[in-house]
């Protein structure tokens, strides 16, 4: 009897061990089994946004699965660049995971940990993201993080005004101009188009300019990193972008001083009828707590074509692991959890998390951009974004881009104020070439 009992107990112990192994191997999101980082605390630096509020409010699941606790520090976008730079300069290990704008990645790449080996080990591919989004989180052949907040550019417009005036959704910039003239001629107390030409330090006035430039077949640099935006095609594209304000006068006059947020507010307050901006703006533009226009009044379409083509500018805000962190393996577990497509879908379809209202339409995985449930919950804006991303690109990923981008941004602002477009863009190209020559590009 004792022998049978011993065998039974041995069999039972083996069964329980196998069961626990199966359960561990089935950990969701590819998380490491056995809680190897139990008791670790991670500090997360993030931009302020409802999207990340929703993720933060869900992170109790991550702690339950891994034993890793998290502490989030949220920074407004206008202050984030300075904060990220200061963390890098100070070699500050207090933040394990940092969130930043993609164009800030190259200047800070020396302290951001490449994640390619981890991805290969855990079977994660950047092919789950649209090409422009994936590219935005990479530098010199290495993947620096996941593009968890990423945006396509769309044109928003006032459906009620367009219907009243018999206007169709503007498919080209020529149609934007025609619609703008019709709105002006109608005598309505609303400006046709909100743009943002101000030189704000974040290079926002390059967003629409890049679409004009690329759609014209021009580019920022050639294959040898020579500035080529002052080519004949590039100059004409820039003139046409500036002419929306200076010649056609279909823009809100305040566009000279507008940054992107100002333009969004102008649309949300019913003061402008068209707005080219990131797709995430749909949520605040239709939220009665932040907008005076209703969902029924707001429509969207792809960014208009220029010369029968639309190449859009895409942007992302990756999360990366700091090389100064003492918890890099635990931080990788957090990135796996944070970036999983199932939670991203929930975060874009559920309107309340832990009792807090959350309105967010941002997803970055191809599967979620095409997901019928995600689209149904967000008026098919993901479908429009997916189409916008079909032909898209990002700002140049070089360490010198912030300095060069600032030169371009200043030239655009001066041109919009009435300056000589060709001269300003030519001078900007010459200054940029000197910067790149000193940096050893040629």
Instruction: Give residue-wise pLDDT tens across range 299-339.
Output: 999 999 999 999 999 999 999 999 999 999 999 999 999 99
In this structure, the answer to whether residues 171 and 265 fall within a common structural domain is yes
H or E element at residue 275: strand 272-278
pLDDT tens, position by position, 254-298: 999 999 999 999 999 999 999 999 999 999 999 998 999 999 999
DSSP code string of 158-180: EHHHHHHTTPPP--BHHHHHHHH
Per the domain annotation, does 25 fall within a domain?
A: no
**Structural domain total, the chain:** 2
* Angle at 133 (CA atoms; ends 131, 134), nearest 5 degrees: 65
pLDDT tens, position by position, 103-127: 999 999 999 999 999 999 999 999 9
Per the domain annotation, does 22 fall within a domain?
A: no
Per the domain annotation, does 39 fall within a domain?
A: yes
Which residues fall within 8 angstroms of residue 383, CB to CB, at 6 or more apart?
369, 370, 375
pLDDT tens, position by position, 191-238: 999 999 999 888 999 999 999 999 999 999 999 999 999 999 999 999
- CA 245, distance to chain mean position in Å, is 26
Q: What pLDDT score was predicted for residue 16?
A: 40
347 and 360 Cβ atoms separated by less than 8 Å:
yes
28 pLDDT exceeds 70? yes
Per the domain annotation, does 325 fall within a domain?
A: yes
The pTM for the full model equals 0.88
In this structure, the answer to whether residues 135 and 69 fall within a common structural domain is yes
In this structure, the answer to whether residues 236 and 345 fall within a common structural domain is no
Q: Give whole-number Cα distances, 101 to 39, 137, 160, 219, 395, in Å.
A: 30, 9, 35, 21, 11
Per the domain annotation, does 204 fall within a domain?
A: yes
- Which pair of structure tokens corresponds to residue 424? 């300003």
- Give the mean pLDDT of the chain: 93
pLDDT tens, position by position, 166-185: 999 999 999 999 999 999 99
* CATH classification at residue 261: 3.40.190.10
Per the domain annotation, does 8 fall within a domain?
A: no
In this structure, the answer to whether residues 275 and 383 fall within a common structural domain is no
Label residue 35 exposed, middle or buried (CB < 10 Å: 0-12, 13-18, 19+): middle
In which band, very low, low, confident or very high, does the pLDDT at 48 lie, cut at 50, 70 and 90? very high
For residue 24, the 8-state DSSP code is: H
In this structure, the answer to whether residues 282 and 332 fall within a common structural domain is no
Which residues fall within 8 angstroms of residue 30, CB to CB, at 6 or more apart?
122, 123, 124, 336
In this structure, the answer to whether residues 235 and 170 fall within a common structural domain is yes
Per the domain annotation, does 405 fall within a domain?
A: yes
pLDDT tens, position by position, 149-166: 999 999 999 999 999 999
In this structure, the answer to whether residues 212 and 166 fall within a common structural domain is yes
Helix (H, G, I), strand (E, B) or coil at 291: coil
13 pLDDT exceeds 60? no
Q: What pLDDT score was predicted for residue 376?
A: 97
In this structure, the answer to whether residues 102 and 242 fall within a common structural domain is no
- CA 64, distance to chain mean position in Å, is 29
Per the domain annotation, does 17 fall within a domain?
A: no
Q: What pLDDT score was predicted for residue 25?
A: 56
In this structure, the answer to whether residues 145 and 186 fall within a common structural domain is no
In this structure, the answer to whether residues 307 and 375 fall within a common structural domain is no
Domain that holds residue 363: 30-151+315-388
């Amino acid at each position: 009897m004792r022998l049978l009992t011993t065998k039974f107990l041995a069999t039972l112990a083996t069964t329980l061990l196998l069961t626990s192994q199966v359960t561990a191997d089935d950990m969701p999101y590819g998380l490491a089994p056995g809680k190897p980082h139990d008791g670790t605390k991670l500090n997360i630096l993030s931009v302020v946004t409802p999207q990340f509020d929703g993720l933060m409010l869900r992170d109790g699941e991550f702690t339950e699965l891994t034993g890793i606790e998290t502490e989030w520090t949220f920074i407004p976008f206008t202050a984030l660049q300075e904060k990220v730079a200061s963390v890098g300069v100070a070699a500050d290990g207090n933040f394990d995971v940092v969130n930043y704008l993609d164009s800030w990645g190259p200047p800070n790449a020396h302290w951001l940990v490449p994640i390619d080996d981890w991805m290969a080990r855990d079977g994660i591919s950047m092919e789950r993201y649209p090409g422009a989004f994936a590219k935005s989180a990479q530098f010199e052949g290495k993947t620096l993080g996941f593009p968890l907040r990423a945006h396509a550019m769309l044109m928003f417009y006032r459906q009620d005004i367009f219907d009243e005036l018999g206007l169709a959704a503007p498919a080209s910039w020529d149609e934007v101009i025609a619609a703008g003239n019709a709105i002006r001629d109608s005598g309505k107390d609303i400006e046709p188009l909100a743009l943002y030409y101000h030189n704000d330090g974040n290079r926002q006035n390059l967003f629409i300019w890049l679409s004009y430039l690329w759609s014209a077949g021009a580019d920022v640099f050639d294959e040898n990193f020579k500035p080529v935006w002052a080519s004949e095609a590039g100059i004409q594209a820039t003139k046409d972008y500036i002419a929306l304000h200076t010649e056609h006068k279909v823009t809100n006059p305040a566009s000279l001083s507008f940054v992107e947020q100002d333009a969004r507010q102008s649309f949300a307050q019913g003061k402008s009828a068209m707005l080219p901006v990131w797709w995430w703006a749909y949520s605040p533009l239709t939220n009665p707590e932040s907008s005076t226009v209703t969902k029924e009044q707001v429509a969207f379409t792809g960014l208009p074509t220029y010369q029968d083509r639309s190449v859009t500018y895409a942007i992302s805000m990756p999360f990366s692991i700091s090389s100064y962190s003492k918890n890099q393996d635990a931080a990788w577990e957090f990135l796996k959890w944070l970036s999983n497509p199932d939670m991203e879908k929930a975060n874009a379809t559920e309107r309340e998390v832990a009792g807090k209202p959350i309105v967010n339409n941002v997803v970055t995985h191809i599967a979620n951009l095409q997901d019928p449930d995600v689209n149904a919950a967000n008026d098919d804006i993901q479908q429009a974004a997916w189409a916008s991303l079909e032909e898209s690109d990002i700002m140049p990923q070089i360490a010198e881009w912030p300095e060069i981008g600032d030169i371009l941004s200043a030239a655009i602002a001066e041109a919009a104020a009435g300056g000589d477009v060709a001269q300003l863009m030519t001078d900007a190209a010459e200054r940029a070439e000197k910067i790149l020559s000193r940096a050893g590009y040629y």
